[in-house]
Structure 1
Amino acid sequence: MLNAYPITAFPTKEVYQYEINILHGTTNETDRRVLRKCWNSDIRKERVSDGIWDGGRICWSLRQFNGWNEEVIFKSDMARDLKTVDLKKNPTLRMSVMPKRKVQLSKISDWLATGSTLDETVIEALSFLDHLLREWPTQQFVAIKRAFFFDHLDDNPKVQDDFHRPLANFGASVYRGIYQAIRPTPAGLVLNVDIAHCVFFSRITLMGYMVSANNFTDKHMLVNRLLPERDQYGVPKESRWFAQVNRKIQGLRVAPTYHGCPFKMKSFIVKGMMLARPSEYKIDYFDKAEGKSTRMSLEEYFRMRYNVRLEFPNMLLVETTKENVIYPAEFLIIKGLQRYRYKLSELEAAQMIQWCATRPPKRLENARQAKELLQHKNDPVLKAYGMKISETMIKTKARLLPSPEIQFGGNRKHNPGHLGTWDLRGKKFYKGNDKALARWGVGFYAGHRKSISMEQTIMWAEQFVKTYKLMGGDIAERPVIKALNEDIGSSVKKLYDGIAERFKGEPQLLIFIVPDKDSWVYLRIKRSADCRYGTPSQVLQSAHCVANKPQYHANVLMKVNAKLGGVTARAVPKTKTSGVRPGTMIIGADVTHPMMGVWTPSLAAMSVSANASATRYMGGCETNGDRVEIIRDKVAEYILHPMVAEWKATVGEGKAPQFVYYFRDGVSASEYRRVLTEEVPAIRYSIAHACSAPVWNGKICVVVANKRHNLRAFPDPKNRQSSDPNGAPLPGTLIDRDVTSPHNWDFLLYSHIALQGTPRPVHYHVLMDEIGLKPNDLENMINDHCYQYIRSTTSVSIHPAIYYAHLISVRARHHEDVPITSGPQSGPEVKTTNPKPKEPRAQRLLPMEGTSNRLALGMWYI
């Protein structure tokens, strides 16, 4: 069963598209709040009663008319939140709706039936259906793109409680909403319905939010922290906490609530706190009964007018954006659903993941609840346009691909079946380190509360050596062990020089034991080891090393062995034709973009298979411009040239590759053509140039992997052979019908187990196949390779070439050419509101030093 519903009928007659323009005087208004007010006006409802609005300047209607241009007049109090126009002085806007084009919905049926080109007319028609589907839910719920969230389900408390959860500090809550999207399939159009999650400000008192957002113990502490200080002349001034607390409440929509409040249904936007308290702030109160005005404090006013006594009379007042509207903070609550605009703490993020990760039966129940809440059969807009959606989920037939055998050292094999997991107990690595480990050392950071001691470090190193030898590693010398008390750069140098001095040669491995999870320390160690010395490094946490458990040693050794040229295990295919042909190179690529508040360039990362079985991958990375998704040709050449040359000299034995599989991650459907016309020619040129040939005449297969979708499969609970104990599809489950593309080669593959929650299949799209592969062969090859990810004892969700490319881009962030003194450039330490720097960032990453370790051509990123 799939979380998709057939669309049994959709409009096929012509729909007319119009352009909306709002003029305020001679200014063409662009503020969406102004547009929304005009769209909701009585004049619009009278002129375009069946209109569908895109939230901007476009609307659609079944009726054809020549357009109209009329005035829209608003009352002054409706404009209190609009900052771009002064409707109070001039409340008149001129709204025009003019014809633009016809949308031919019949083109969708033609395209589905014949497989004709997906041209602009089909895209326009599908876009209209998307907005048609959103129109009524947008009026009922809080809409965020294709997701809808509820702030009024009081009539259904069971669903209400199940669809939101407060996080650790209670100032933020994660809400579960509805996601819906139309998907074209071989059988027609279907509606994908799933759950979505988003974090909003908790609907609690404003003072309660201030306490939680600033980590105060209670409201009394909040009041004390905000008490005004006095300067040398006795004039009140802001406390040192004022700016921090004030910044976090500005822009919040709040509503007053107290006994006898006449404005319970009204909301206001917080402008900020005032440097005044209710007992000090004076107002003139006019008593209509007595006909006189009395000057009194705000505290006295509420006591006399509403018989309300303030619990916190010393708390600062809150001013709103509406003129002369001021309230004591304790009377205000956060109104409605407002998106949380701050980064979650580690604890909050962990709580969110835990709550969002629902098991398949629960997720299926939530998806069905979401479909019921949308009430498509009662949607007046869908009825008016003739769209009908089935109430029954799609049932499809899936296939279960055979899982490969896992081959370890000594020709020992293990059959994981469809469990997708195994262990390393009693097993050796398929391939140990290339050269005996003879020049290495362990440095531990001393002097911290959680630091490991010298004796504990020696015990850990002895167990490390013993475990590595048992697993097939070759160790010739005991390590140098040093206590590190210097700064990060100096401590890396101290360990490196200590190893070089003792063993009279370049170190092969640097191991650092740090006292905590400080990501800034990790970044500096990696940057120094990679770009200053070109030496493989491993960073460990002292708590795990003190515990000294065999499982931890095994996990660490998978990474260390890979960095030293080894291989954990190899997947042996059960179908002969799904193996990698001789002369095959596999390339994986991913482009990562900085998070909000981070103004560093996007990074393009590429991995290239380093042996015939594609169990090892080289990796390279370079900047790719500001938020540019398509990899530039010069960037691709710079990354690929040394790796392709290395592949030719080793795997190819002096010959260029005959076949190339190019696995690309993170590309939307609108950019598929650019992958074929820009990235593929760049790869061909890079291979030819690296192989000293005018052109490369090999064959290429281009596959895009997409995890950003909301399709989920739910096996039949009556068939125990099709699901794991949690009700999730078994690793190897393949779906290639009913919800796939109507005309292209694509499929959904579950290649992993879900440790928590409901697993997400990877949607693979084959954009080009010059090799002439059979579908079964490619599908089995991808599934088999997911079992030989080098640092795991489980199968992974996506082809390892893509997985490695993602790891490469994450690690290469540490190679940005910025001074260490400038602090972290990304991560939780950087604020989302961080302003854009005046000077552009460095356009190239720091190179990894070329030493005898050949770091850049190994698995340095693992």
Structure 2
Amino acid sequence: MENLYHNDSLPNGLRHLQLRTTDEYEKYRVPVDTVPRPGFNTTGKEIELSLNAYPILKFPNKTVHQYDVNIGNGKESPALIKKVWNSQARKNVLRQIIFDGSKLAWSLNNYQDGLNVLVDLDGENNRPVGKVPNVFRLVVRRTKAVNISVLTSWLQGQAPFGEPVLEAMNFLDHLLREYPSSKFHSIKRSFFDEHGDNFDLGNGVLAFKGVYQAIRPTIPRRLVINIDVSNTCFWARISLVGAAIALFDARDAQHLIHLLRPVKDGFGGTTESDGFYECHRRLKKLIVQAHYGGCPVLGKNFQVKGLINGSARQYLIDVKDPATGKINKMSVEEYFHKKYDVYLRYWELPMVEMTKKGVVYPMEVLTLHGLQKYPFKLTEYQTAAMIKYAANRPAERLDSITKSKKMLDHANDPVLKSFGLQVDNNMLRTKARLLPSPDIQFGGNQRINAGTSGRWDLRGKKFFQPNKRPLDCWGIGYFTGKRGSINQAQVTNFTDAFVKAYRNHGGDVPRYPLLLELKEDIGQAIKRLYSTVGHKFQKDPQLLLIIVPDKNSFTYLRIKKSCDCRWGVPSQVLQAGHASKAQPQYLSNVLMKVNAKLGGTTARAVPKVTEATLRPQTMIIGADVTHPSLGVWAPSMAAISVCMDQYGCRYWGACEANGERVELINRSNIEIMLTPLIREWMSTVGGGRAPDHVYYFRDGVSTGQFAQVLEREVLDMRAIFMELTGQQWKGKFTVVIANKRHHIRAFPKPNDRNAADRNGNPLPGTLISRDVTSPFDWDFLLYSHIALQGTSRPVHYHVILDQIKHKPQELENMIYDHCYQYMRSTTSVSLFPAVYYAHLIANRARHHEDIPASSGPRSAPQVKITNPKPEKRPIDPRLLPIYGTSNRLPFQMWFI
């Protein structure tokens, strides 16, 4: 069978691009400055909302003295730093002073001479002096005066945003944290009560509800405190044996002993088992206490250094005979029996070594102490339970926020009182806008308007654009022989229903597919299906549907890797349980994806505000970088999406590995991914010309990285446009950062049908531009979806470059309208589609890692935490290219 089409400019040929030098990029630099708000949106109607923000009524206008703090040699643990700082030796000299827990302290008092003292922690706690002195030097030195009144000048526009403003904001941030940190367990800006609201997720993990608070400068030129619920997972307060059993989901302690027992090493000896290594890594750094009859250090905290490959019966210690003074060797098991009359039930478990030199304990006498954050990926069951626990309806969330405010009790906070900071007890209320929803256009010029419901269905509707080429060479493969598999009669019934449904939606399907039963290995099965379909119809297969018996992520990975990178054919994986029923709604949902992969478009949004219509010669680029789960080595994935039509409905996608947890997309990746997509856009959309207007929507970057996005990513993109136009490009960029990782929530009045849905969440189209937004930059919060559960969260959009010079309604309404044309949904979505697609692309591209499929997934949830980073594997490995055939898969929506 012959490839009827092959594009030499596909990514495979771009692996060896000669990249430009740094100096060549300097001439394309864009200005890095804030984008002032161009006014306020007046479209739609005004609504009123409460926001989980509380105005600061008064803050210190006195001079605050800042101090540098140094404890020991500078490498001490946070726990030790806290002990030294809280010592009486410090308190006797330095009073009314707050400390950031690391290097800085502040006080209204001017301690000109500072402090230089040795702190004896044993003496502080009336403990006998050990062999090693527990003494640390504490040095506190005054460095500068922080003028808090500069905040007032800045908020009034009379002072620039510079280091003095940052220093003042940093001080207020720590001022707010000081007293709650002494009462509750703190994680950054969140506080958790050890006896507060919690839920058992199973396997030794508890979910806790805590309080989040952060200070924000806002319109109209004031400071507010954002208070919200914070949900975090902690280790359950159980025995260390119980924690280890939970980690492995072991049946009991005997099963755990079996998992941790040494194994033969192949050379006549033994070595640590995989279970031992995994347990060692997971339990390391936990804080534990020893509990047994007669324990001389009851209540003392120790930090776990790791497991020792030896049981309590094998591990020998030196014991002095009180009668003779002779030193004898004795097992830990025997020592506990003779010294404390404690019989160890699980002596076969490994011993546990502490970070304190010479301290070891049997595992069964140790218990976890206090709140300790659980740092590992949750299981599917735990994740589902966590989502259910955290997903509170708006009324419940509002009640929790009110309780959180009472828990913080700002009015009676002695630290805030001493510094003169006052916080309003009432939530902010704001005037928001409810933007008009766009019409949704289908085939045959049929239009509907979802109003404020944010949802619609496909019954009786044709796709806005059906498949571009008649679907006359395709196949359906179905795996049999396993529980839950589909049979031939069910496949035939599904095929009839699928073809009928696609034709009803306007699809061009002149031929039925080839049906093939699959039994062999996945790679071989896809090869046989592809070859059989191609041989029967004498052309490159246009589509493969594969019906699998269950939801197995590894099976999905192998199918997609084979279809994308080996055969270059669009594919759709279906679960037998759904396919066998062939229900109309399920078929329509599948067909939205299939139609998109075959060049079609589900629907387009027609703006009600004409100014929100895309200008001619406009390109939209979305980008996202996703990182692997904590503890699993895999490269970060940088993904880019580029719209391929005049409406911004259809998108191409490309992805590359982006180093190890690197957020900014590196230059070579931008060139490799974007160059062929811009070329394709110029030839198919732009009529041979580059775009005049480029929107760049970026997800996942923090405020501190905004300038780097402009200085690096946008600079690199501009260089590509100049290169492809012979240095003649004069187009303009608008760059928008989309952020969902924030704590702002809005609450309409109860039963306000003009502003709330039936669950009490803000309606789709709710735009917030005041009271919690920046007093100087152009940012806004937008609700563009209906939340299926819990309290909905708006997306915070921040415009960091606007060379096009938009009016508010031009950009803000355009973003909202486009949330109605996400290709595979019959609801408006919460995030601008270009960014949504970039996230999809990054996740799908993990299937393209250049590793044998038989070795298993490297970054999926099933991977063990003990997977080490391969020594010889490059930090930034290239992904396998998507194969180019007559389907031109790299230039289709292969990722949808």
Same fold (TM > 0.5): yes
Structure 1 CA distance for aligned equivalents of residues 140 and 328 of structure 2:
53
Match of 1:349 in 2: 383
Structure 2 CA distance for aligned equivalents of residues 643 and 595 of structure 1:
30
- How many residues in Structure 1 have an aligned counterpart in Structure 2? 839
Residue 150 (str. 1) matches residue 188 (str. 2): no
Match of 1:6 in 2: 55
Match of 2:749 in 1: 716
Q: Secondary structure at the match of 1:139?
A: helix
Q: Residue type of the partner of 2:161?
A: L
Question: Is the CA contact (8 Å cut-off) linking 1:598 and 1:832 kept in structure 2?
Answer: yes
1:266-305 mapped onto 2 (5 Å cutoff) = 266-270=300-304, 272=307, 276=311
Q: Residue type of the partner of 2:190?
A: A
Question: Is the CA contact (8 Å cut-off) linking 1:286 and 1:294 kept in structure 2?
Answer: yes
1:581-640 deviation per Cα after TM superposition (whole angstroms, max 9, x unaligned)? 222222212222333234433332221111111111111223334333233344323322
Residue 452 (str. 1) matches residue 486 (str. 2): yes
Residue 106 (str. 1) matches residue 106 (str. 2): no
Residue 697 (str. 1) matches residue 730 (str. 2): yes
1:15 to 54, 64, 68: 64
1:315-394 mapped onto 2 (5 Å cutoff) = 316=349, 319=352, 321=354, 332-394=366-428
Match of 2:31 in 1: none
Structure 2 CA distance for aligned equivalents of residues 248 and 683 of structure 1:
42
Structure 1 CA distance for aligned equivalents of residues 736 and 347 of structure 2:
64
C-alpha displacement of 1:114:
0.8
1:573-588 mapped onto 2 (5 Å cutoff) = 573-588=607-622
Q: Secondary structure at the match of 1:501?
A: helix
Q: Secondary structure at the match of 1:398?
A: strand
Greater displacement, 268-277 / 220-229: 220-229
Structure 1 CA distance for aligned equivalents of residues 274 and 613 of structure 2:
66
Q: Secondary structure at the match of 1:781?
A: helix
C-alpha displacement of 1:175:
0.9
C-alpha change, 1:652 and 1:168, in structure 2 (3 Å) is: same
1:498-539 deviation per Cα after TM superposition (whole angstroms, max 9, x unaligned)? 111111111111222222222222222222221222211111
Question: Is the CA contact (8 Å cut-off) linking 1:223 and 1:314 kept in structure 2?
Answer: no
C-alpha change, 1:221 and 1:852, in structure 2 (3 Å) is: closer
Match of 2:118 in 1: 71
C-alpha change, 1:650 and 1:296, in structure 2 (3 Å) is: closer
Greater displacement, 649-658 / 709-718: 649-658
Q: Secondary structure at the match of 1:72?
A: strand
C-alpha displacement of 1:480:
1.6
1:239-250 mapped onto 2 (5 Å cutoff) = 248-250=282-284
1:630 to 636, 656, 664: 664
Q: Secondary structure at the match of 2:202?
A: coil
C-alpha displacement of 1:389:
1.1
2:890 to 839, 843, 856: 856
C-alpha displacement of 1:287:
11
Question: Is the CA contact (8 Å cut-off) linking 1:500 and 1:506 kept in structure 2?
Answer: yes
Structure 2 CA distance for aligned equivalents of residues 401 and 643 of structure 1:
33
Question: Is the CA contact (8 Å cut-off) linking 1:285 and 1:296 kept in structure 2?
Answer: no
Question: Is the CA contact (8 Å cut-off) linking 2:293 and 2:342 kept in structure 1?
Answer: no
Structure 2 CA distance for aligned equivalents of residues 21 and 621 of structure 1:
45
1:539-561 deviation per Cα after TM superposition (whole angstroms, max 9, x unaligned)? 12222222322222111111000
C-alpha displacement of 1:341:
3.2
Match of 1:83 in 2: none
TM-score (norm 2): 0.86
Match of 2:286 in 1: 252
Q: Residue type of the partner of 2:71?
A: I
Question: Is the CA contact (8 Å cut-off) linking 2:474 and 2:542 kept in structure 1?
Answer: yes
* Higher RCO (C-alpha under 8 Å, 6+ residues apart): 2
Structure 2 CA distance for aligned equivalents of residues 213 and 79 of structure 1:
39
* CA RMSD, 1 decimal: 3.4
**Any gaps of 5 or more consecutive residues in structure 1?**
81-85, 154-159
1:659 to 669, 693, 707: 693
C-alpha displacement of 1:276:
4.9
Match of 2:135 in 1: 92
Residue 125 (str. 1) matches residue 168 (str. 2): yes
1:758-812 deviation per Cα after TM superposition (whole angstroms, max 9, x unaligned)? 1110111122222232112221111111011000011000111111111111112
C-alpha displacement of 1:77:
11
Q: Residue type of the partner of 1:33?
A: A
Match of 2:84 in 1: 38
Question: Is the CA contact (8 Å cut-off) linking 2:346 and 2:364 kept in structure 1?
Answer: no
C-alpha change, 1:522 and 1:379, in structure 2 (3 Å) is: same
1:55 to 101, 106, 112: 101
Greater displacement, 719-728 / 66-75: 66-75
Residue 427 (str. 1) matches residue 461 (str. 2): yes
Q: Secondary structure at the match of 1:430?
A: coil
1:143-199 deviation per Cα after TM superposition (whole angstroms, max 9, x unaligned)? 111111111x3xxxxxx3xx2100133x11111111111010023000000011111
Q: Residue type of the partner of 2:819?
A: C
Question: Is the CA contact (8 Å cut-off) linking 2:84 and 2:121 kept in structure 1?
Answer: no
2:597 to 563, 583, 589: 563
C-alpha change, 1:599 and 1:186, in structure 2 (3 Å) is: same
Greater displacement, 60-69 / 559-568: 60-69
C-alpha displacement of 1:60:
2.1
Question: Is the CA contact (8 Å cut-off) linking 1:536 and 1:860 kept in structure 2?
Answer: yes
Match of 1:157 in 2: none
1:335-379 deviation per Cα after TM superposition (whole angstroms, max 9, x unaligned)? 211122332111111111111111111111111111111121222
2:843 to 794, 797, 810: 810
Q: Residue type of the partner of 1:422?
A: W
Structure 1 CA distance for aligned equivalents of residues 496 and 520 of structure 2:
25
C-alpha change, 1:241 and 1:137, in structure 2 (3 Å) is: same
Structure 2 CA distance for aligned equivalents of residues 803 and 573 of structure 1:
20
Structure 2 CA distance for aligned equivalents of residues 87 and 28 of structure 1:
23
Q: Residue type of the partner of 2:141?
A: M
Structure 1 CA distance for aligned equivalents of residues 320 and 241 of structure 2:
26
C-alpha change, 1:243 and 1:740, in structure 2 (3 Å) is: closer
Match of 1:182 in 2: 215
Residue 402 (str. 1) matches residue 436 (str. 2): yes
Structure 1 CA distance for aligned equivalents of residues 823 and 273 of structure 2:
55
C-alpha change, 1:21 and 1:616, in structure 2 (3 Å) is: same
Residue 488 (str. 1) matches residue 526 (str. 2): no
Question: Is the CA contact (8 Å cut-off) linking 1:443 and 1:484 kept in structure 2?
Answer: yes
Identity among equivalent positions (%) equals 49
Question: Is the CA contact (8 Å cut-off) linking 1:596 and 1:833 kept in structure 2?
Answer: no
Structure 1 CA distance for aligned equivalents of residues 574 and 192 of structure 2:
42
Structure 2 CA distance for aligned equivalents of residues 381 and 87 of structure 1:
37
Match of 2:184 in 1: 141
Match of 1:792 in 2: 825
Q: Secondary structure at the match of 1:758?
A: coil
Residue 621 (str. 1) matches residue 621 (str. 2): no
1:758-777 mapped onto 2 (5 Å cutoff) = 758-777=791-810
**Any gaps of 5 or more consecutive residues in structure 2?**
1-49
Q: Residue type of the partner of 1:680?
A: V
Structure 2 CA distance for aligned equivalents of residues 228 and 617 of structure 1:
53
Residue 265 (str. 1) matches residue 299 (str. 2): yes
C-alpha displacement of 1:245:
5.4
C-alpha displacement of 1:563:
0.4
Structure 2 CA distance for aligned equivalents of residues 22 and 92 of structure 1:
11
Q: Secondary structure at the match of 1:109?
A: helix
Q: Residue type of the partner of 1:4?
A: A
Q: Secondary structure at the match of 1:395?
A: strand
1:365-409 deviation per Cα after TM superposition (whole angstroms, max 9, x unaligned)? 111111111121222221222111111111111111111121112
Residue 830 (str. 1) matches residue 873 (str. 2): no
C-alpha displacement of 1:716:
0.7
Q: Residue type of the partner of 1:398?
A: A
